[in-house]
Each structure stands twice: as structure tokens, then as C-alpha cells.
Amino acid sequence: AVRPTVRLLEGRTREIDWPQNVLHAAHVPGAESDLLLFQGVEPSLRWKRFTGSILGGARQMGAHMVITLGALLADVPHTRPVPITGIASDETLVARMGFERSNYEGPTGVVGVLHHACAGNDIPSVSLWAAVPHYVAASPNPKAALALLRSFEGVAGVAVDALSLEDQAGDYERQVNAAVASDPDVKAFVERLEETVDEVQDDAPPERIPSADSIARDFQRFLKQRRANGPS
């Protein structure tokens, strides 16, 4: 299902780029934990062996939580904050982060299989999903990436310098605004989405406000990491 790609070197030699899964280790100065960053593609076969290999590596390296990041196409406008859905396997995490237990039934991907395996092996796991506009699905979405990163910070307990991504998110929104404004039909469609989202938010109950202790802990964590990284 996932094919390799071919490219030409100097216009002559063919090079094959095979799909691969890559694991990086990242030390985070001042943070309570380091990070293991895994990026790859959904395998076409042997999902149980695939997830078993991931969890085996996690145990070997002392990982105490698995967090996955993903995006899904939705009827959301690009002009509003990116909706983030968080699903946790552990009741403590559900209560602390204000997440929910999934009651979805139906076909699943390798991410769902991985979280099921985490639950079966007593490894806390969190699945974060960003809803992205389906009408601009073909281009990378740094605004959604930034929203995922900010949610990841709260779960993982790290502070991330994302200034470059913030700049890219601003550029992305301006470019999409210009493209939408040039097409009356698309502009009208986006305005209808905005109205729908605003109506839902007006009817929704107020969001849970973080406690003062929670805010203080997050701020202390941020300052600790800033000191560990030195003056910038």
C-alpha cells in the first residue's frame, strides 16, 4: 500500500527511497523526562509484530508514556483555533487533562492498535488529534502542527520553542485567506463553516479553567527549562 519512490541523481542514476520508520532520542535540558520521537508509515502487514517492536523498545529505554499525534479532515474553517481531541487510556490522565475515553466502534488504523497494545501492557497512552480543513488538505498545515505541539507540551510536561512554527502558521493563514478571497464560492462556504462553528461554541458549556496550581506548575517547568538551556 505504501510504495517506494524513485529519483534521479544528476539526471542519470536512479535512486530508490524506501519507506522507513525512524526513532530519534532527544534530551530536554531541565525537563522531567527525555523524549523518544518515532516517525514512520503504517505497515501493510504484521501489525502485531510492529506494535510489539515499538512497545519492546519503549520498555527497553524506560519510556513511561506513549503519546501519538495525528490529524483528520473535518468541516472546520481555517480562521478559527484548531480543534484538538485528546483520548487517554488511563483514568488518571483522563481526569487530569480533561480528555475522554473513546467510544468509537469501526475500522481502525495502526495508531488504534498501538494504543490497544499499550493498555494491554499497562503503559499509559494519549492520542492527540487535530481537526484540519478539508478544503486545504493538500498542503502542509503548520497551524495544526502548532496546536498539536502545544497540546503535547501539556501532556508530556515539556516546554517547546516553536517560534519558527508560529511564523509559519501565520504565513499559512494569510496565504489561505488570500486564496479563499479569490473564489466567491469557496469564500461563501468558509463563511458558513465559521457560522456553524461559532454557533456550536456559543451553545457549548464553558471550558474547564486550569487551577492556579496547574498554571504555576507549568510556568515553573517552563522557567526551569529556560535556565537549563542557558541565555538566548
10 Å CB burial of residue 162 (0-12, 13-18, 19+) is middle
What span, in angstroms and rounded, lies between the C-alpha atoms of 155 and 96? 9
User: Is the pLDDT score of 71 beyond 80?
Assistant: yes
| Residue 170 scores a pLDDT above 60 | yes
Task: For 25-35, write each residue's pLDDT tens digit.
Answer: 988 888 888 99
Average the pLDDT over 130-143 and give the result: 89
Mean pLDDT for the chain overall: 84
Check residue 17 and give its pLDDT.
92
3-class SS letters over the chain: CCCCEEEEECCCEEEEECCCCEEEEECCCCCCCCEEEEECCCCCCCHHHHHHHHHHHHHHCCCCCEEEEEEEEECCCCCCCCCEEEEECCHHHHHHHCCECCCCCCCCCHHHHHHHHHHHCCCCEEEEEEEEEHHHCCCCCHHHHHHHHHHHHHHHCCCCCCHHHHHHHHHHHHHHHHHHHCCHHHHHHHHHHHHHHHHHHHHCCCCCCCCHHHHHHHHHHHHHHHHHHCCC
Q: Which pTM value belongs to this model? A: 0.79
- Average pLDDT estimate for 190-211: 71
Cell of 166: 508560529
State yes or no: pLDDT of 192 exceeds 60. Answer: yes
Q: Is the pLDDT of residue 61 over 60?
A: yes
Per-residue confidence at 222, pLDDT binned at 50, 70, 90?
A: low
The pLDDT value recorded for residue 211 is 45
Q: What is the pLDDT of residue 209?
A: 45
pLDDT of 202 reads 63
- How far is Cα 157 from Cα 141, in angstroms, rounded to an integer? 24
> b vs e for 167-195, b when ≥16 Cβ sit within 10 Å of the residue's Cβ?
ebbeebeeebeeebeeeeeeeeebeebee
Whether 180 contacts 187, CB under 8 Å? yes
Q: Are strands 66-74 and 125-133 parallel, antiparallel or unpaired?
A: parallel
Identify the pLDDT of residue 216: 53
* pLDDT over 60 (residue 15): yes
